[in-house]
Structure 1
Amino acid sequence: MSNKTKIIQPVIREATLSDAQEISELIRSVAHYFTIDPAGVGAERFLQTITPEAIAGYIENDDIFYLAVVAGESIVGVGAVKNASHLFHLFVCEAYQGQQIARRMWNQLAPRLTGRPVTVNSTLAAVPVYEKFGFKIAGSKVERDGIAFVPMNK
């Protein structure tokens, strides 16, 4: 018998309404990367946009295409495109970061981004990731509603 743990290969699929709660929890778990205050103080308006109800609304919205990355029974990443021109969400839980999951989601989302320019509001830490996807910084760091981001486009 082997001591090796079986590695579960994450699967990317379209998100469903039943995923909304878990997606919300995943985004909240990485929110400290983009909220100015690590506890989210001042970001209440933004945090309302990632409640399970808000996520369900995005999944149901015909102008938003939403993906979930599932490993075993858990959602470990999410990505969404809005209006065919904005990379709306791209989040990977901390335990799965650095495993090319964001790249795999990007590869599935990119063909849906038919508008020009394609935009994303990047966390400060994710700027190098988006640069690898071909995005360029399009403006100075923005601090609004308790979050900080860098506008980028391609």
Structure 2
Amino acid sequence: MVLPAELWENWINMNGIRPAQLTDAAAIEAIIQPYIDDFAVDNMGRQCLNYQSILKVLGLADVEYFVYSDAELIIGAIAYQKPAHLLHFFVDQRYQHQGVGKKMWQFVENKIRAENILAVTVNSSCYAEKIYQHFGFMPTQSVIEDRGLRFIPMKKTYLSNNT
């Protein structure tokens, strides 16, 4: 399902998703930290997702970053680098299995698909591989270690703009 641009704002308001701000960096870091050992193999990898690195990503012109909030509490974060490489996708562990991740993924996928993009990539942690497979991603290589991170390159390909 691809929503027309004019419906995105209503969808965001109904589903708790909004663009991330620099002031959200500490909350995003807190959501990410419990997952660090799932993919960081050394300090270089851990530094890729610390507060300063998150601030840097939030400031990049080619990155779309969103948070999911329940009232004032940020419980999820998702970001992609244009045109379609998923950078961050995390849900607070206390809110997993409640549809938060699904809503965030549907929102980002909808934005990407509205740009007529036919493939999305991600470097998945080993822990998250099955989650991404559930969303239609397939591994493109086996496990890689690079710049202190261990991950599985994955890709979701669409047959056309409508599927």
TM-score relative to the length of structure 1: 0.81
Match of 1:27 in 2: 32
- Structure 1, gaps ≥5 residues long: 1-8, 37-41
After superposition, the C-alpha distances for 1:1-21 in whole angstroms (9 at most, x for unaligned) are xxxxxxxx9722111111011
Q: Does the CA contact (< 8 Å) of 2:76 and 2:100 recur in 1?
A: yes
Match of 2:58 in 1: 59
User: How far 1:112 sits from its partner (Å)?
Assistant: 3.1
Match of 2:93 in 1: 94
Match of 1:151 in 2: 153
Match of 2:108 in 1: 109
Q: Does the CA contact (< 8 Å) of 1:30 and 1:94 recur in 2?
A: no
- Structure 2, gaps ≥5 residues long: 1-13, 157-163
Match of 2:127 in 1: 125
Higher helix share: 2
Coordinate RMSD, CA, aligned: 2.0
Match of 1:76 in 2: 75
TM-score relative to the length of structure 2: 0.77
Rounded to whole Å, the distance in 1 between the matches of 2:53 and 2:98 is 28
The alignment covers a number of residue pairs equal to 140
After superposition, the C-alpha distances for 1:116-145 in whole angstroms (9 at most, x for unaligned) are 532101111211211121111111111234
After superposition, the C-alpha distances for 1:57-85 in whole angstroms (9 at most, x for unaligned) are 22222200001111233211100010222
Q: Does the CA contact (< 8 Å) of 2:40 and 2:46 recur in 1?
A: no
Structure 2 CA distance for partners of 1:29 and 1:10, relative to 1, 3 Å: farther
User: How far 1:33 sits from its partner (Å)?
Assistant: 2.2
> Percent same amino acid at aligned positions?
31
Q: Letter of the aligned partner of 2:21 in structure 1? A: T
Q: Does the CA contact (< 8 Å) of 1:10 and 1:72 recur in 2?
A: no
Q: Does the CA contact (< 8 Å) of 1:24 and 1:52 recur in 2?
A: yes
Q: Which of residues 2, 15, 19 in structure 2 aligns to 1:14?
A: 19
Q: Letter of the aligned partner of 1:33 in structure 2? A: D
Q: Secondary structure at the match of 1:13?
A: strand
